[in-house]
């Protein structure tokens, strides 16, 4: 299964690089840098595995099978475009170890580069007309934007950022697209919508776990992750490790420090130590494992097959990742 997937991801890379082409050399070069820098390709990989689950079991899911590579490309283009836009909002210096587009060509160029990738993604929509995939991707695009608005509206506002609000944000920003990748891949493979919905729910669970792990990694040293530590708390984003630590040990001084817009490195260190000392990391790890269990339970509703096994293994891999 994974050997076959690797071949598809190589084909995907070629397709993505073709989508970076434009008549403006600077745009092409910037986008190629971001695409070549890689990433985990989780969304297209999940789409392909779920497509296999439908396509390899036509006796159980006798629906019409569609091409999968264009869908994989759309999903990765949507994700990459959102990262480019996020980097502008966050004023990030690097992404995947390379300098961000807005640091080289300016904020306007970066925004337009992200928009260009979204436009290239739309070129493939006609392939999936009538399957329900187009509608699903339109809904997810809207939710991703709302997730960004939601996060921006709660920056440095600890009272507004409750645990429930936090989960709502990460579902919109991360989990829904991963869930849609599974759902749309299954539909393209001919699976009926009812069973495809099970895979969407699976995807949303591992998508939530994925984001929770990212939030934990933000509390680890840059030597471990390759990223500066403490970025979220520095930008006024209160993630689950901090919220759970504060729930265990309420502290007015810590709340006031977290809400401070310009923090020194010493103050960032105090906040990070508070989270580690009051079990914010450990409690978030428990939430990750709970999401993984829920995801694997969802899979039990579907017939056994190599693709289902691969999805179960992927859930465990994402739970235990170190970077």
**Predicted confidence band at 117 (pLDDT cuts at 50, 70, 90)?**
very high
Q: Give CA separation, 123 vs 33, 73, 92, 151, 249, in Å.
A: 22, 11, 29, 30, 52
pLDDT at residue 282 tops 60 = yes
| Residue range 244-263, pLDDT digits in tens | 999 999 999 999 999 999 99
d(C-alpha 115, C-alpha 111), whole Å: 6
10 Å CB burial of residue 167 (0-12, 13-18, 19+) is: middle
CATH 3.40.1080.10, domain 2-318, yes or no: no
pLDDT value at residue 141: 95
The H-or-E segment that residue 95 falls in is strand 94-95
Phi/psi-derived region of residue 119, left when phi > 0, alpha when psi is between -120 and 50, beta in every other case: alpha
Task: Please give the average per-residue pLDDT across 307-311, as a whole number.
Answer: 95
Beta-carbon contacts of 95 under 8 Å, excluding residues fewer than 6 positions away, are 34, 37, 83, 84, 87
* CB 218 within 8 Å of CB 231: yes
pLDDT at residue 54 tops 60 = yes
**Predicted confidence band at 226 (pLDDT cuts at 50, 70, 90)?**
low
Looking at the chain, the whole-number percentage of residues with pLDDT higher than 90 is: 84
Task: Please give the average per-residue pLDDT across 32-54, as a whole number.
Answer: 93
**3-state SS, residue 99:** strand
Query: Residues 200, 175, 7, 323: is their CA dihedral positive or negative?
Result: negative
pLDDT at residue 147 tops 80 = yes
d(C-alpha 87, C-alpha 113), whole Å: 12
d(C-alpha 59, C-alpha 15), whole Å: 31
First CA to last CA distance, the chain: 24
- Show me where the domains of the chain are located: 2-318
Picking from 140, 198, 223, the residue whose alpha carbon sits closest to that of residue 174 is 140
Task: Please give the average per-residue pLDDT across 125-131, as a whole number.
Answer: 95
Task: Please give the average per-residue pLDDT across 5-14, as a whole number.
Answer: 95
Mean pLDDT, the chain, integer: 92
| Residue range 173-217, pLDDT digits in tens | 999 999 999 999 999 999 999 999 999 999 999 999 999 999 999
């Amino acid at each position: 299964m994974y050997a076959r997937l690797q071949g598809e991801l190589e084909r995907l890379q070629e397709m993505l690089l073709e989508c970076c082409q434009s008549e403006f050399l600077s745009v092409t070069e910037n986008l190629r840098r971001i695409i070549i820098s890689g990433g985990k390709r989780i969304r297209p990989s999940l789409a392909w595995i779920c497509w296999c689950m439908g396509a390899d079991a036509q006796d159980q899911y006798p629906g019409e099978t569609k091409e999968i590579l264009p869908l994989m490309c759309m999903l990765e283009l949507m994700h990459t475009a959102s990262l480019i836009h996020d980097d502008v909002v966050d004023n990030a210096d690097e992404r995947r170890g390379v300098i961000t587009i807005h640091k080289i060509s300016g904020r306007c160029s970066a925004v337009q580069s992200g928009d260009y990738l979204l436009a290239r993604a739309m070129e493939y929509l006609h392939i999936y007309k009538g399957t329900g995939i187009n509608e699903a991707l339109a809904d997810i695009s809207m939710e991703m934007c709302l997730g960004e608005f939601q996060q921006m509206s709660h920056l440095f506002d600890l009272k507004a950022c409750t645990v429930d609000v936090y989960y709502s944000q990460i579902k919109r920003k991360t989990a829904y697209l991963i869930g849609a990748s599974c759902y749309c891949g299954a539909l393209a493979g001919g699976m009926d919508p009812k069973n495809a919905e099970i895979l969407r729910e699976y995807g949303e669970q591992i998508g939530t776990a994925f984001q929770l792990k990212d939030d934990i990694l933000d509390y680890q040293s840059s030597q471990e992750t390759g990223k500066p530590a403490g970025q979220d708390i520095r930008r006024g984003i209160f993630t689950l490790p901090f919220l759970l630590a504060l729930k265990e040990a309420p502290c007015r001084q810590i709340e006031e420090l977290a809400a401070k817009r310009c923090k020194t490195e010493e103050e960032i260190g105090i906040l990070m130590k508070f989270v580690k000392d009051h079990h914010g990391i450990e409690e978030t790890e428990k939430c990750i494992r709970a999401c993984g269990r829920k995801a694997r339970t969802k899979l039990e509703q579907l017939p056994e097959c190599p693709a289902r096994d691969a999805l179960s293994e992927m859930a465990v891999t994402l739970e235990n990742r170190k970077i």
